[in-house]
Structure formats: structure tokens, C-alpha cells
Chain A
Amino acid sequence: MTMNALKAGNALKAGSVSDVASGAIDGPSRAAAGSDAPARPDRPAGLSSGRWGGVLIRFATAVALPVGAFLLWEIAVDSGFASGRLVPPPSRILTTLVDLWTAGQLVDHIVSTCLRVLLGFLAGAAAGALAGSLTGYFRVAHAVVDPTLQALRAIPSIAWVPLFILWFGIFETSKVVLIATGVFFPVYLGVSTALLSVDRKIVEVGRIFRLSGFDLVRRILFPAVLPAFIVSLRAGLGLGWMFVVAAEFMGASEGLGYLLVDGQQLGKPDQIMAAILIFAVIGKLSDAILVQATAPLVAWQDNFSRGGL
């Protein structure tokens, strides 16, 4: 065998081995790298296929778990496997809901609860955003105010109930103030910490272009903290729904919290379940509205995943 033939043979062998190896190991990634790779890899399409089809599938996926659980419980009660006395089956809860609706009370209960949450949420979120902005922006304000607010935050907000009743009476004001207190802290904490953690690097961009004071806030700081602000609003809204129940426990003649207390005192578990169910639905609905309404404001975020489910 000549030298050249030997080399050629080796080259052939080496070539085939490396081809097999690379084909086996990085075949797909090589194919991907070969194409003109976009700056962001496309994400797998997930379950969505077509706009409305996607929405429908997403909805069905989301409600599959609770609907399945209801069905199982219904069957369990129906077949005598469970009595359903303390945990009424979905059919009875539904009947209760329809009864309350036809009696014309349900809407009133829902509206008064929603109104309390809305007012408390607006007041608490506004105060939280304001206080958070001040302590996040001004070092002195942070040093003076933040420790006190953190201490107040550590108080279980229900502990305020007796005091608020003494101060604001038994009617609407004390309820709204309690809800606002609950909403205030997560919003305050979210805005304050988000401002403190705005990337120095983009603030320097603002400084290079000689922005200062209000312009720096408007053009750099506000957009930079917006995603964290929205998350804190969601947390605040969640607490708002929590505190409205506490508020309505302390004496209300209408509202979903009243339905709960009334159901307990008169031994109507179906009414309690109905109220809980409504809380779940409108709580989720209000959160979804908040998310949908604010989504366009933060579409610029380079998130881990926006596609798929």
C-alpha cells in the first residue's frame, strides 16, 4: 500500500467515524445552526392552533380539573357513596345559586362585594404606589419611612379590625379601609423594591442623555418598574378579595362574606359553597382582566415563554 493510499484510507475512516458521531450527537442542532438562525429561537407552538381554536383549548384545559372534580363528587353523592350533607354536590349548589338569583339578592351581594374591593383596591394601590415611589426614589424617605412600614406590614391586617371599627364605624368606611390596608403593602413593597433594583446601567443611559428628575422618572424609571408594579397590583388584588371577607365578617347585611356567615349560622353549606364558588370565579376573572389590560404595556419583556399553553 502506498503512503497516499494509507492516508486516504485513514482520512476516509476518520471521516466516516466523525460523520457518524456528529450525526448521532448533534444532528438536529447542526441543522438548526445551518439555517439563518433568528435572534430568538421560535418556541414550540404548544397546544395553540389557530386563534379561536387556541383560546377554546386553553379554556378547556384550564377548567378540566375543577369540572372533573365536581363531576366525581356529583357521582359520589348520586350513587350514595357520600352523603353530601356537609359537602353538598354541585347540583345542589347550582340550585342554591339559581334560587338566590331568582330571589334577586345574588346580584346585590356580588355588586356590593365587588364595589368594596374596587374602592379598597384603588385606594390601597394608589397609596402603595405613591409611598413605594417615594421610598424607592428618595434615599432619605427610605431611611425614615421604610422601617416603620415594614413593621406595620408585619401586623396581621385582621388585627386592625377592632380599631378600624372604633375609628370608622361599622359601615362601609371601615370595610374599605381594611381592604385598602391589605392592598397597600404588597403594592408598596413591589414598587419600592423594583425602584431600588432598577439597573444602574440603564439609568446611566438616561444620565448620558442628560435626563434628570421628572424626565428620568418618566422615561427610564417608570417603564423599568412597570412589570414589577403590575405583579404587585395582582398580589394586591388577591389580598383585596381576601380582606373583603374579613371586612364582611365584621358585620355586613349584604355581600358574599355575609352569605358565608349567614350560611354558617343557619347551617346552609350549599350557600357557603355557592359564595365560595362565586369568589373563585370573580377573583379569577378580575385577575384575568388586570392581566389582559396590562399585557400590552409589558409586551416588550423578553420572557422565557409567551407561546404554547
Chain B
Amino acid sequence: MLALKGLGKTYAGGVQALAGFTLDAPPGEIVAIIGGSGSGKSTLLRLISGLDAPTSGTVSIHGEAVHEPHPLINLIFQEPRLLPWLSVRDNVGFGLAHMPRAEQAARIEEALCRVKLEAYGDRLPKALSGGQAQRVAIARALVTRPEVLLLDEPFSALDALTRETLQQHLLDIWAQTRATMILVTHDIDEAVALAHRVIVLKPWPGRILDNIKIAYPHRRSGVAFDQARARVRSALHQSLSVPAPADIRTVWAQHPSVLETSP
């Protein structure tokens, strides 16, 4: 159980990035955090991962307070952040140095299989595409078998097709590991499709605006998906204090001349 109580962070210079963030994430829950810029999304993950210390509140896992990076918590960054001098295999095994060789090798192969990169173990990061590199980063986080996986917009730099593939991978991994996942994203569809719960943040300082349960099984589609999507969408726009722009299809409908002109 990951428990966050009244988390707040004020950076030197007085910028309050996050205030009073409280959340209990039971094992195996996927929580999506969505919000505009300045809503403290990345700050939140830095506090949970122990990279930064909160100015107020606490992070705890299984009742044990987290003050610095914890073995049961791992963070996947927006960029892969692979170490360019290590092969894919050594990058994946980076967090296993304390283990016996055989155990390391077994875990690395298993993680590479999970992200479908078995054939790429000997490559250097410079020979990988963006999507492959991010999969290596995911495998690197998986090998230590974290119970909490923090993901900071992990797919935002990827093209649409690669992103869908990796979202699928992530659900497969979740199905096998049942890790708690805190997924920061700014993609409404991604949040609604993957998470059990979507938390919408409000900026300056970042705080919780809405906490939306998505109580449907995964592989979502149809009316239920559209309803959840619409709710997250309107909450997000409320958080940004701007009226929600019309759906792109409505915009097309208002301009019949555009619709009827095909190239």
C-alpha cells in the first residue's frame, strides 16, 4: 500500500509546486495523474520516488516512511535516460549489481522478453529507436521487481503507433506483476484507457481537483469509455479555468464547406 499524506513542495524561491496531496493507492491499482503545466505532476513523482524531499507531508510504503529512493519504488522518466556506454543488457541490469551473476542474467532476459527486445541485448543505446529505448528503460525499472512503478509521461515523446504498442505492453506487464502504477500523463485517452482512477490536478499550486473512478475492465471502448473520457476532459478544462473547446468533430460540423471539400 502506497500512502501519500498531505504532500506539499515549495521550491527555493517560494514557488509552491504542490500542496496537500493525499492519496492511498492499494496494491495493483493504476492511478493516472492528469493536469496542465504547473499542476505539480512531475514534482509529485519526484517526491514519491525520493529524489526530492517534500516540504510538508509524508510518503510511505507498507507503513514505512520514504525519505530517499526506495528499493520497492521505481521511476520511469519521460526520456529513456539510458546510460550510453552500456549495452542494452547492462542498462537493463543496472539495478542488479548486488545480485549473483546467474540471477542477474535470468532477470535481465525475463525483462527483455517482457518488452519484446530479446534480440537487442548486445546493442548500444545509440542504435535504438525512441520507442525501443523507452522499452529498455521500462525493462530496467522492472528487473528490480518494484511494487510501485512511477511513470512520468513515459510515452509522450513517441509517435502514435509506438505509443499504443507501449501502452499495450504496460497493461501486459501490469497483468503479470500487479504493480501499483502512478502514471503522469497529459493524454486524456491514455489516462482513461489505462487507469483505474484518474486524478485531475489544478495548477498554482498543484492540488487535487477531481478524483474519477474508472470502474470498468481494461480494453475499454464504447459508451462507457466516452463517458469517462468526457468527464475527465471537462474536469481538466475546469482545472485550467478555460471553457472546454468543442470536440473537433463538432468544429468540422460547423464548417460544412470544409467537410465537403476533399483534396
Contact = CB atoms under 8 A, between A and B. Distances in A.
- Report, as a range, how many residues of chain B touch the other chain: 20 to 34
26 contacts: A14-B263, A39-B126, A39-B127, A39-B132, A201-B79, A201-B81, A204-B77, A205-B81, A205-B94, A207-B51, A208-B51, A208-B69, A208-B75, A209-B69, A209-B94, A209-B95, A209-B144, A210-B69, A220-B83, A300-B84, A300-B86, A300-B125, A300-B126, A301-B84, A302-B84, A302-B126
Nearest to A222: B85
Which 6 residue pairs across A and B have the least CB separation, nearest first? A302-B126, A209-B95, A300-B85, A223-B85, A39-B129, A210-B69
Given A14-B263, A204-B51, A302-B126, A210 B83 contact: no
A14 B124 CA distance: 46
- Report, as a range, how many residues of chain A touch the other chain: 20 to 34
Interface string A295-309: 000001110000000
A40 interface: yes
A98 interface: no
B74 A208 contact: yes
Interface string A273-309: 0000000000000000000000000001110000000
Contacts of B86: 300
A118 B161 CA distance: 57
B182 to A, nearest CB: 14
B49 A208 contact: yes
Interface of A: 14, 39-40, 201-202, 204-205, 207-210, 215, 219-220, 223-224, 226, 300-302
Contacts of A201: 77, 79, 81
Contacts of A226: 85
Contacts of A301: 84, 126
B164 interface: no
Name A's interface SS: helix
A202 B71 contact: no
Nearest to B94: A209
A202 B80 CA distance: 10
B120 to A, nearest CB: 11
A40 B84 CA distance: 15
